Structure 1
């Protein structure tokens, strides 16, 4: 019996691991979602990754990491990354990962405007052209390897901003709210969540107050990046 709410990807992960191993065992699973749906934060894929890792241990399947990565790739392009975490460059569909050292921890404010973004629709708008290039990614990785997350943010780009901002005015307004205050900000995934880089956690509380005072009904969450040691 699986209690999974509306999260189909978690159930697909369970079925995929059963199909791969032939395991007939069952499990009672309650999924409490903390990552907002359609936020561009990989919440569904993270649930699938957790399902694969958890069932491998719970059912004592003894699947190798390579086997889990292959199953994960069949579920979604970002599932392999979420099985391991860290700092990685994705190629292919995004499932071929090359890892590098993670920079020191930094505080972030995640801000989700009340705009619904369909990932399928967003990808459907891509015409093969973008301001973001391989050189952009090379530059970002170079800054990350030098432990300079600030420069990595300011030199990065998200093609979906080019595709979606013209039709969703609130996305541009949200990003400009933070960049005009001097905070490096970029939309994550296919949106609509903005990731705001902070110098210290108190800035997050101040920004939350400013968001409220400006009359915006954006969801905001304070979090922190992982260091290399956190992944051990």
Structure 2
């Protein structure tokens, strides 16, 4: 018996970052959106716990963490420990979400693993318990369970769904080399020693989402980690400029980068921008719409 769960990439429409707290974490006020770039995880009954990963052509297999510390296996063990059962099963993950790209691919896989294990092991875990387990695995994992569009507070793990009736079109350009999230946060601290304790509010983006107007949303997009990411990788700034010159309403670094995403005015606009970027030598250019569902069972 097996079960397949799909989980989506996320982008941050707003990422306000405050000064690091005493525990080392930065307070966030963020708006997540799940978009139509997915990883699919299949869990098959087996006597022991194992993991196989297959990646899309634009992903370097060596960049995917393996071994016992992989977040999929940690998610399985965490759920098993919560219920006092033995973790077992053969996982196969088919990855399309860029690795170390600021799109929460690992978090998506962890969320998918929680859902798959809960169903295959017939555990009937409550939503609250699943969200708590997800938060223990990483700040983005709770949103990967919820999907859609949502506001995140705390470290980003305190997630509240947002009513988002828009259909937003995106172009995503992954990088061939990842960018370490801790490195970007450290550089943020160096560039912004006077960062406020309270992060910039997400209210402008929430109002823009309610308007369903792409131009208004483009103007409201905000990412406090874009400056440090671009300072570390200046070519990201050049890519943003190129995409906007080719018709995108707005380009920005996704999360801590290095994936760059562009908001477009329509499906046709997204295809045109993607074609121009591909023609300019960017080998992998993805189009996607949002919001889409969080981790959910396919079969």
Instruction: Map Cα deviations across residues 33-67 of structure 1 (whole Å, 9 max, x no partner).
Output: 11111111111000000100111111011110000
Structure 1: segments with no counterpart, 5+ residues? none
Structure 2: segments with no counterpart, 5+ residues? 1-48, 54-63
Structure number with higher strand proportion: 2
SS of residue paired to 1:32? strand
1:181 equivalent to 2:246? Answer yes
Q: Supply the RMSD in Å over aligned alpha carbons.
A: 2.2
In structure 2, do the counterparts of structure 1 residues 165 and 70 end up closer, same or farther at CA, with 3 Å as the change threshold? same
In structure 2, do the counterparts of structure 1 residues 18 and 118 end up closer, same or farther at CA, with 3 Å as the change threshold? same
Structure number with higher helix proportion: 1
Q: TM-score, normalised by structure 2?
A: 0.70
More displaced, 54-63 or 119-128? Answer: 119-128
More displaced, 27-36 or 176-185? Answer: 176-185
After TM superposition, give the deviation of residue 218 of structure 1 in Å: 4.4
Q: Distance in 2 between matches of 1:21 and 1:105?
A: 39
Equivalent residues of 2:149, 2:161 under 8 A apart:
yes
After TM superposition, give the deviation of residue 17 of structure 1 in Å: 0.7
Higher relative contact order (CA 8 A, sep 6+): 2
Which segments of structure 1 move beyond 4 Å, counting only runs of 4 or more?
128-131, 133-136
Match of 2:103 in 1: 41
1:140 equivalent to 2:205? Answer yes
Q: Distance in 2 between matches of 1:119 and 1:135?
A: 20
Match of 2:23 in 1: none
Q: Work out which of the residue numbers 46, 50, 53 in structure 1 matches 2:112.
A: 50
Match of 1:199 in 2: 265
Match of 1:2 in 2: 50
Q: Work out which of the residue numbers 116, 121, 127 in structure 1 matches 2:183.
A: 121
Matched residue pairs, number? Answer: 227
More displaced, 122-131 or 63-72? Answer: 122-131
After TM superposition, give the deviation of residue 84 of structure 1 in Å: 0.8
Match of 2:155 in 1: 93
Match of 1:219 in 2: 284
More displaced, 218-227 or 72-81? Answer: 218-227
SS of residue paired to 2:164? coil
Equivalent residues of 2:277, 2:285 under 8 A apart:
no
Q: Distance in 1 between matches of 2:194 and 2:185?
A: 12
After TM superposition, give the deviation of residue 195 of structure 1 in Å: 1.5
Equivalent residues of 2:173, 2:282 under 8 A apart:
no
Equivalent residues of 1:4, 1:11 under 8 A apart:
no
